[in-house]
Amino acid sequence: MFLPPKPIYPVDGIRTIEALVAPHAQPSLMERAGRVAAEEAVRLTQDRAGHVLIACGPGNNGGDGFVMARRLLQAGRNVTVAFADDAAKLPRDAAAAFAAWRAAGGETVSDFPAAPANGWALVVDALFGIGLRSPVTGRHAQWIEALNAQHAPRLAIDIPSGLDADTGRVLGTVFHATTTLTFLALKPGLLTHDGPDIAGVVNVHRLDIDPPNYLPPKGLQIQPGILKPLLKQRLQNTHKGCYGDVGIIGGARGMTGAALLAGRAALKLGCGRVLTGLVDDAAPAVDFTQPELMLQRPDDVIENATVLALGPGLGHGEVAAALLERAIRQARPVVLDADALNIVAASEDLRALVAARTAPTLMTPHPGEAGRLLRSDTAGVQSDRVASALELARTFNAVVVLKGSGSVIATPDGRWLINSTGHPGMASAGMGDVLTGLIASLIAQGWPAESGLIAAVHLHGAAADRLAREGIGPVGLTASEVAEASRGIFNAWTIQATKGH
């Protein structure tokens, strides 16, 4: 259950590792990649007889395809290789792989082939690898469209052609894989932005190499193992004062529910008390759904809470800005979300105050809010989500989660993580408020800022995943249901982590 985090490398990191390994690799990395790809093809077609179609491109990704084809041919499989480029212009290793394929009796076709009568058993994309930087057009784009139209499993070698390996952006026409076999390590583009919708099931094969031995990764895919050291059973001799007070500031007129959702989520994750400061003077004096919440004046909450979370339903008026400034000036952890982020983005003074803080600052923007904070726009943020998250973390000296498909967590010192839990059913009102409450609760209980943010983001998505498996969602899933499920998963993690202690 508690698997360690998985390393992620951008393209320049993969190239560095390849340059260090290649001179001594026997057999070559391309030979290893093609062998592993052939084994994956056999696995994917074990219940499907018939021909395998491999579309090879003009670079080393095509070379992997030629090795794969040769291996399958030698194993007695029917293989068709489509290759429309100039073999004389192939890179050295790919040219050698092409020659070995031909020497083994293999042939290539230069036009996209018609499917056999019983269809293809598998279609394989070996057109473009991780070095692609410009949109796929022309014949290659037509081939990708034809591959996508086949009624067969679709395997991408290393990266789906047309997907930017660093950013997850689609470059022109893109291959929609049902499985992606990627080599050495995960790439950011497989895990964020459009990557999760394009790559299908992602399998990593290290090719008998341990990449961190050659280059320590700055990026990690979050796994529960990263949280295990902080999951501890509570002592019997304890009381609510041991687990901190979360202060929620928000809930302007018409948005009271946002602050209450955040407060309820914080309470369910185990903080001692939740002090909820509702900005709306006409707000109720008690939350009858969750009467354990202490509804107080916002000023009193700011003075007394262990950690402050501002933004859920905060609004944008002078009162909201004044409360935000006062909270930022406190020497205690602050979680900034939603309206709080937009107020900071619009004020030079508040931007400077946040950046100058010495107590932990945690920020939870979605791409639109991130664009305003970076004086950019949503498209600019999404064009490179990892870079955008890192810039936010540096600019505001904060631990940041850039929410979205493959949420990116970044730290001011340049480290980053990608979370892969969660599903599209979480695109509904109140989910961000619940996340804010989960984060604040862990920080109030003494978790370090970075670890608390990582745990809350991973838990938030894992709770939604569990609910979907149980038939609750994905469509129609509510934030309240996720808060409830988060409690159960967190307790299960704690029990599992502390067995035998």
CA atoms within 13 A on the CB side of 242: 6
Q: How many Å apart are CA 203 and CA 194, to the nearest integer?
A: 17
- In degrees rounded to 5, what are phi and psi of residue 311? 135, -40
Strand, coil or helix: what is 79?
strand
Radius of gyration of the chain (CA): 26
- In degrees rounded to 5, what are phi and psi of residue 198? -100, -35
Burial 121-148 (b: 16+ CB within 10 A, else e): bbbbbbbbbbebeeebeeebbebbebbe
> What phi-psi label fits residue 351: left (phi over 0), alpha (psi between -120 and 50 degrees) or beta?
alpha
Strand, coil or helix: what is 319?
helix
Provide the pairing of β-strand 273-278 with 294-296. Answer: parallel
Residue ranges of the annotated binding site for K(+) are 61, 125, 161
Q: How many Å apart are CA 191 and CA 482, to the nearest integer?
A: 22
Q: How many Å apart are CA 302 and CA 408, to the nearest integer?
A: 29
Residue ranges of the annotated binding site for (6S)-NADPHX are 60-64, 129-135, 158, 258, 313, 366, 433
Task: Say which amino acid occupies 212.
Answer: P
Cis omega (within 30 of 0) for bond into 216: no
Residue ranges of the annotated binding site are 60-64, 125, 129-135, 158, 161, 258, 313, 366, 403-407, 432-433
Check: CB of residue 354 under 8 Å from CB of residue 365. no
Kind and range of the H or E run holding 155 = strand 154-157
Burial 186-222 (b: 16+ CB within 10 A, else e): bbbbbbbbbbbebbbebebbebebebeeebebbbbbb
Q: How many Å apart are CA 13 and CA 9, to the nearest integer?
A: 5
CB-neighbour burial class of residue 445 (10 A; exposed 0-12, middle 13-18, buried 19+): buried
Residue ranges of the annotated binding site for AMP are 403-407, 432
Check: CB of residue 28 under 8 Å from CB of residue 95. no
Place of tokens 């950046």: 355
Question: If we measure between CA atoms, which residue out of 363, 368, 399, 398 comes closest to residue 381?
Answer: 368
Check: CB of residue 404 under 8 Å from CB of residue 431. no
Question: If we measure between CA atoms, which residue out of 418, 396, 422 comes closest to residue 407?
Answer: 418
